Structure 1
């Protein structure tokens, strides 16, 4: 009998996405075939404390499913690199670039990828001026205010007035010292999954997020029992193909490896697609849109996990 691979599933962490991470980890633990793997959880607490020191001899591969800062921004990836442990997902640089909405947009623009008009500023810059309208003068209402480093729609506000803008910026500053303000557009929200290594990644069928209000907030994404996506999305084939092509280009722009979910805005009236962001460790339950997009593309959830572990081991041997 082939010896089973020991898989350390890392979850939790000090980010605001701690609870979402625990859900992802449980799904991975439940779905890994016991005939091939010996999975065990390591839950990092909300203060960043580890229950035990991770060592090279404890696991054959690490499957981190931490979302947001600390787990998805290169910090954890750097720690695993120093331990010499193979791990699932993007490396240090790609994780850091994708987590930071300013750096991410710079990478996209450098590769001539379409993004919505936006501005960014530090807390010091915001408080140094009393003319806050001048800070966002290049944008029109509505706008979306976001912390530069966070995910899962946490700390985001849709604003339509100066009063709402100031309140949204103050909320975002409770999560980060840098804020991004994006131009709102009337558009459908699309997603596409990327899976693979540096040279030949593949893109899933696109999906469409079901947005009941003005945008998809945290409660709708994670606390609502309703389905939040239509997969595959009802799109003309040229548009679906462009989504897949742009997803692979975005993955390449950050130096992605393993997996990512790419989010888009599709402006039907003009036919324009805008890259919204790329997530290097999206929600990872079997019901998450990333997994569903790959299931609709012919890759079932247990097979998806196996492919990601194989990719992690391949990178460690290269």
Structure 2
């Protein structure tokens, strides 16, 4: 019998997405085929303490199921690289660029990838300006205000007036020192999973996110039992193909590896697609849209985990 690979599944972390990470990591831990893998759950608490310190030789590969700052921004990836441990997912640079909404948009614009009109400013700019309205004068209401470095819709507000903008920016600045303000568009929300190495990644079917209000907030995504997604998205063939092509373009643009989920806004009356963001460690339960998109593309959840671990080992030469 082939010796099982010991897989450290990282969970938790000090970011505001701690609870989401625990759900994702537990799903990965429970679904790893035990005939091939010997998983160990490593929980990182909110203060950054590890339940088990990792070292080379103690585990064969690491699956960092961590969301948000520390886990998805290149910090833990750099730590694992320094330890010489193979790990699932994007490297330091791709993780950092994808996590920072300003760097991500600059990279996309440089490559001709369509993004919504937006501005960004630092907390210092916000506190010292005498014309806060001037910071967003190039955009039309409604606006979406977000922390530059955060995910899972945490710290995000939809605003329709200067009073709401003030409150939205103050909320965003609780999570990061830079706020991003995006122009709202009347659009359907789509997402597409990418899987593979740098050179030959593949895209899943497109998935549509089902909104009951103006946007999907944290509560709707994680604390509600209503059907979050339609899989696959009901789209004209050319639009579905453009979603897949743009997903691969965004993936290559940031130098992603292993996996990513690319989120879109589809302005149906104009036919325009906007890339909203790319997530290098999306929600990872079997019900998450990333896994469901791949299941609809013919790759089961356990097989998806197996492919990701194989990619991690291939990158390290193990």
- Please tell me the TM-score bracket, short chain as reference: over 0.9
Tell me the equivalent position of 1:67. 67
Gaps spanning 5+ residues in structure 2: where?
Answer: none
Deviations 1:43-96 (A, max 9, x none): 000011112321011100000000000000000000000000000000000000
Q: Match for residue 235 of structure 1?
A: 235
| Backbone CA RMSD of aligned residues | 0.6
Give, in whole Å, the separation in 2 of the partners of 1:29 and 1:54.
Answer: 17
Query: For residue 156 of structure 1, what is the aligned residue in structure 2?
Result: 156
Distance in 2 (alpha carbons) for counterparts of 1:48 and 1:309: 25
- TM-score normalised according to structure 1 size: 0.99
**Aligned-partner Cα distance in 2 for 1:305–1:91:** 18
1:270 aligns with 2:274: no
Q: Which residue of 2 aligns with 1:173?
A: 173
C-alpha distance in structure 2 between counterparts of 1:48 and 1:101, whole Å: 24
TM-score between the two structures when normalised by the length of structure 2: 0.99
- What does residue 217 of structure 1 align with? 217
Q: How many residue pairs end up in the alignment?
A: 318
Once the 2 structures are TM-superposed, how far is the Cα of residue 188 of structure 1 from its aligned partner?
0.1
What residue in structure 2 maps to residue 316 of structure 1?
316
Q: Offset at 1:227?
A: 1.5
| Separation of aligned partners in 2, 1:129 and 1:36 | 58
Deviations 1:11-63 (A, max 9, x none): 10000000000000110011001000000100000011112321011100000
Secondary structure of the 1:55 match is coil
Poorly superposed stretches of 4+, deviation over 3 Å: none
Offset from partner CA, 1:163-196 (integer Å, 9 cap, x none): 0000000000000000000000000000000000
| Structure-2 residue corresponding to 1:295 | 295
d(CA) in 2 for partners of 1:136, 1:48: 36
Return the alpha-carbon distance in structure 2 between the equivalents of residues 209 and 48 of structure 1: 33
Deviation, structure 1 residue 226:
1.3
